[in-house]
Structure 1
Amino acid sequence: MKYALISDVHSNLPALEAVLRDIDERADVDYVYHLGDLVGYAPWPNEVVELVRERRIPGVAGNYDSTVANDYKHCGCKADSARGEELSHLSYGWTRENVSPQTKRALGELPFRLDVRTRGGHTSKPQMVLVHGTPTLNTLYWTEDRPDAFCLKMARAAGAKEGDLVAFGHTHKPWTREVEGVHFVNTGSVGKPKDGDPRACYVLVEATEEGLETPEFVRVEYDLERAMEAIRKSELPDEFAEQLRTASSAVPVPD
């Protein structure tokens, strides 16, 4: 069995369409799951959620999804500057105002986590635990510099054991590690990468008779200009377009 894991689409319809085309062209992917944050920052929240529903892609609630669905006071996003904080509030306000009732309901139906037993429910291993941030909170950032002890703490919280995999997103920066036989993978971001590579990112995981293979990162070119132009034509801040081009969370400095 081969699984495609996508995360952090953030309303970027051209990026999602390109990733799904890439997955379809491979022909050997059996299942696709999403790890949340379908909306925010780009002008296609309703279209992205509808496409995910049309494709019947199961997934979990990212912090953006759950806060929009529940009309929370903010998106639970972390900013590196005062302007970054302001931008996060502007994006959140625009998204809440522009999601349809159907989209809001769909976001509210997403579970916090999904457990996938690759050999069926009659066996306990191997298991994939799918969350957005961590197995404890979808707002907690699980960055690559977290020590092994933190990873093992999260594995215990998830009930993951040797041979299992814990997959998550939220930071928009892909990385993978194995600690005491447990695989950990940050799937990166489909629609808003922050690792300096503007291409959409997703992960392939293969389950064999021996267990789960090391996750494979896939980068996909998409119509970046279309996404940037749509942001500029919307009421969203133009900075979000530049962040797509640079694949960074940094706030552009005006000339």
Structure 2
Amino acid sequence: MNYALISDIHGNLPALEAVLAHLDQRTDVDAVLHLGDLVGYAPWPNEVIELLRARAIPGVAGNYDSTTATGYGHCGCRYEDPVQEALSHESYEWTLAHTSEASKRWLESLPFRIDLRPLGGHVAGPRLILVHGNPVLNTVYWTEDRSDSFCSKMAEKLGAKAGDVIAFGHTHLPWHREVDGVHFVNTGSVGRPKDHDPRAGFARVTITGDAVEVEFVRVEYDVHRAAAGVRESTLPDAFADFLEQGGKPVEAA
């Protein structure tokens, strides 16, 4: 099975549309799934949700999804500095106010975890396990510099074994590592990359009986349309700059 895994769209409709148009042209993708954080930071939360629902794309809840759905005190995001923290609160307040009740109810329905058996449910073969942040909390960042022992601990929490693939997002930075036969894949971000490449990103994961292949894909999209949408809204212009710069944070004052 060939899976396209999209994560951290963050309300960026132009980026999502471009990724889906790209996937429609590929013949090597059997299923598309999302790994959460569908809203926040860009002005199309409802439109992103409507498009995913129209395309019947299943997935898991991100921290931004569940906090928006429940009206939690904050978005569960990590802040690089006080400027980023203040901007994050502005984004969350805007998202709470502009996400419809119907969208919030749908976000609340998203599961924390999805397990798939690519070779068929009757076969005790490899599994693809989807979470947003990590198996314990969606607010904990699982970065590439985490140790192999940390990865093994997370695999144990999920009951993963050699041959399985654990996929997640949340950090907006793509990476892939194999530890004790378990594959760990961070898919990167569709709508808010942080690796200084403004293009939308996703991961294609192929799982066969004895092999796992991971491809990180970048897709050009109309970043200026997305940035203009931010600037035309009442969101901070800094979020438009962030998109255009591929994730370079605003300098602290």
AA matched with 1:64? Y
Q: Which residue of 1 aligns with 2:234?
A: 235
Partner-residue secondary structure (3-state), 2:25? helix
Offset at residue 245 of structure 1 (A): 1.2
2:119/2:208 contact within 8 Å kept:
no
Q: Which residue of 2 aligns with 1:194?
A: 194
Q: Which residue of 2 aligns with 1:9?
A: 9
Partner-residue secondary structure (3-state), 1:32? strand
AA matched with 1:70? T
Partner-residue secondary structure (3-state), 1:126? coil
Matches within 5 A, 1:56-205: 56-205=56-205
How does the TM-score come out when normalised to structure 1?
0.97
AA matched with 1:216? E
Offset at residue 119 of structure 1 (A): 1.0
2:81/2:252 contact within 8 Å kept:
no
Cα distance between partner residues in 1 of 2:27 and 2:93: 39
Q: Unaligned regions of 5+ residues in structure 1, if any?
A: none
1:36-61 per-position Cα deviation (integer Å, ceiling 9, x unaligned) = 00000000000000000000000000
Cα distance between partner residues in 2 of 1:248 and 1:39: 17
Q: Unaligned regions of 5+ residues in structure 2, if any?
A: none
Offset at residue 209 of structure 1 (A): 3.2
2:4/2:205 contact within 8 Å kept:
yes
**Count of residues in correspondence between the two structures:** 253
Cα distance between partner residues in 1 of 2:142 and 2:151: 9
Partner-residue secondary structure (3-state), 1:215? strand
Q: Which residue of 2 aligns with 1:223?
A: 222
Q: Percent identity?
A: 62
Q: Which moved more, 1:139-148 or 1:118-127?
A: 118-127
1:38-95 per-position Cα deviation (integer Å, ceiling 9, x unaligned) = 0000000000000000000000000000000011000000101111100000000000
Cα distance between partner residues in 1 of 2:130 and 2:209: 21
Q: Which residue of 2 aligns with 1:46?
A: 46
Computed over aligned residues only, the root mean square deviation of the Cα atoms, in angstroms, reads 1.1
AA matched with 1:173? L
Offset at residue 253 of structure 1 (A): 6.4
Partner-residue secondary structure (3-state), 1:178? strand
Offset at residue 124 of structure 1 (A): 2.5
Offset at residue 27 of structure 1 (A): 2.4
1:145-181 per-position Cα deviation (integer Å, ceiling 9, x unaligned) = 0000000000000111000000000000000000111
Q: Which residue of 2 aligns with 1:208?
A: 208
2:82/2:252 contact within 8 Å kept:
no
